[in-house]
Amino acid sequence: MKTVFIRLDHLGDILLCTPMLHVLAEAGHEIEVVVPKAYAQVFENNPRVKAVYAIEELCPGFPRRWWRLGRWIRERGFEVVLVPNGSDPGVLWASAWSGARTRLAMWGGMVGRITGHR
């Protein structure tokens, strides 16, 4: 299952998510990661991560231009969008726009519910 993991906040929080990526990979997920450029190298040699993308290079102008991220997710054909910190509405709107059939977000609040995240 093709899965994109999007975490745009702090380094410590990103690192704490690595065990989750291990479990997903063991369950058969093909994982690609989107993080801030400063933290991309954390995942570069992770054997469970297929590719790492910096949000600044992937979607210039994010979060104001959130639809670029949604279009990228749609074009890459991800089946699962995983947002461990949904406090940024731009990420949630991009995920909703992506067309992915499974979209999971924690801490999404009202926007998370409006955009149909579980």
| Phi, psi of 85, rounded to the nearest 5 degrees | -130, 100
How many domains, the chain? Answer: 1
* Contact yes or no for 57/69 (Cβ under 8 A): no
> How far is 5 from 33, CA to CA, in rounded Å?
5
- For residue 36, is it within any domain? yes
| Domain assignment of residue 15, given as a range | 2-104
- Domain assignment present for residue 43? The answer is yes
> Using CA atoms, how far apart are residues 65 and 113, in angstroms rounded to an integer?
21
Please name the amino acid found at residue 18.
T
For residue range 76-85, list pLDDT tens digits in order: 999 999 999 9
- Per-residue pLDDT band at 107 (split at 50, 70, 90): confident
- Of 44 and 2, the one with more pLDDT: 2
pLDDT tens, residue by residue, 13-60: 999 999 999 999 999 999 999 999 999 999 989 999 999 999 999 999
Average confidence score pLDDT of the chain: 95
Looking up residue 19, the CATH number of its domain turns out to be 3.40.50.2000
* pLDDT tens track for 25-34: 999 999 999 9
Mean of pLDDT values over 87-92? 93
Residue 118 belongs to some domain of the structure: no
